[in-house]
Amino acid sequence: MRFHVLGVGPVGTLVAHHLRHTLSDAHSVVLIHKALAQMRFAQRMDNTLVMERDGVKQLSGGYRSEVFIHRRQLKQDKLADRLRKRMEWKKKAGITEEDRVLKSWVAQADSPENLAPSAEIESLFVTTKAYNVVSAIQELVPRLNINSTIVLMNNGMGVYEKLLETVFQNPASRPHFIVTVNDNGAFLRRYMHVIHSGLGSIRFGIVADSDGRDYEASLYDTDLPRDARKLSLDSIVDPNGESAARYLSLRNTVAALSSLEGLGAVWEPMSDVLIAMKRKVVVNAVINPLTALMGCRNGDIFETEGAKRIMERVCLEASWAFAAEFCTQEEEAAPNNGATLKQRARAIALGQNVVTNFPPTLTAEALQAECIRVAKATAGNVSSMLGDVQKGKGTEIIYMNGYLLQIGTALRIPMNTTATLLNLVKMRTTIPIDQMLK
């Protein structure tokens, strides 16, 4: 089976390295580079990745390289073909001087790694920035089909919903989706050389099947003791069964992900993964914009009371929005004693109205504790948003604060602090403050 990794940044390099180390040589791991220059660099490096942890380097090779936009690769290969013909003409004409540039082009064009991309993508790990996911997958749609599996590994929330809205509107032709929560720390020393700076986990779940197949059926197997029930690959599909063609890539992708022990990968029920995703998006909606605006490391932001008050307010707004969403979906929250949705949701968020099914980890107090914990655990880190701002790149703020704002606004929950941070980050990426002060 072929596993494609889209995006050879910190997460993509880390995941590709562990896939290659874990999977047998019968399976291919394909790196999809953003630009031709990156693919050419990979070829010059013999398609070898370097993963470094605590000063110890591990190498992995045997990858195939492709360029993200196929037409660019074809254009470059046509150029290489013309250069090859030029070399042949020189040889026939008796011109024998060394031409390293020509030989380099020809060698790259003829290399096995530079073959045209395979027509079909069976399993796609998407590790690009959240704001690039939709356009990237749109480019790859001709190579995807209903049997393909897409693993979303981006920060923030709302990307999956955006894909359904703009790319995969028809459930009958929609690939399988896996969503993830990744808290492994990583950064690039240089292209294709990743530093695994913080051991963490990858919690992942399978998005519900449009045809009604229950991927978590084994959790409810009454023939087993309760403590023996766990998620099973056989709930996805019997590899020898009638539906194997439809679900085999999903089963194999889940198996591959589950084998990534070096990244702490764990398959969990989708409900648990969604809670983890919500907790992480709130943490990101606090730490990322504050560090980007103040130009500081994660551990510095809560040194002042002002930052703590901002954090407390964002956590309250987020929990309030989650609770309002819960109240609209759960009948248990119906007893309202005359209270409005906004009042009931606020009471749940503050822990004043205990509702059995509302996750206690999504209360305002629990979210505040998580923000402080993460800031301490990653005290020396530079947040991804600060890094983007420093490099003059776009940020993922729309998929963090923007996601929370969308939920709250739809349910008439005031999200003033969340919205203010979003607008300040947009200003920060538009106005070159540092350059003006030089």
Rg (CA), the chain: 24
CATH fold, domain 2-68+116-268, is Rossmann fold (3.40.50)
Nearest to 46 by CA among 26, 23, 62: 62
Q: Which two tokens stand for residue 62?
A: 């045997």
Residue found by looking up tokens 């301490």 in the block: 376
Angle at 371 between CA 387 and CA 132, to 5 degrees: 40
DSSP codes joined into one string, 64-90: EEEESSHHHHHHHHHHHHHHHHHHHHH
Helices assigned H by DSSP within 117-158: 130-140
Locate 141 and state its tokens. Answer: 């749609």
Looking at residue 300, its amino acid is: D
Q: Which amino acid is at 264?
A: G
Q: Give the CATH H-level superfamily of domain 278-436.
A: N-(1-d-carboxylethyl)-l-norvaline Dehydrogenase; domain 2 (1.10.1040.10)
CA 300 to chain centre: 26
Answer yes or no: pTM beyond 0.85.
yes
For residue 339, the model assigns a pLDDT of 76
Domain definitions of the chain by residue range: 2-68+116-268, 278-436
User: Beta strand pairing status for 265-267 and 202-206?
Assistant: parallel
Question: Order of strands, edge to edge, in the sheet holding 64-67?
Answer: 64-67, 28-33, 2-6, 123-126, 149-152, 176-182, 202-206, 265-267
Detail the DSSP E strand segments found in 240-378.
Answer: 265-267
Predicted local confidence at residue 36, as pLDDT: 83
- What are the counts of helices (DSSP H) followed by strands (DSSP E) for the chain? 15, 12
pLDDT at 77: 60
Q: What is the largest CA-CA distance in the chain?
A: 96
Question: Can you tell me whether residue 337 is helix, strand or coil?
Answer: coil
Note whether 302 and 309 are within 8 A (CB). no
Q: Give the pLDDT of residue 113.
A: 44
Residue 333 in tokens: 């929250």
Mean pLDDT per block of 10 residues along the chain (438 residues) reads 96 98 95 89 92 96 85 63 70 61 50 54 97 94 96 97 97 96 95 95 97 94 85 95 95 98 98 98 98 95 95 98 91 61 89 83 98 95 92 94 97 97 95 60
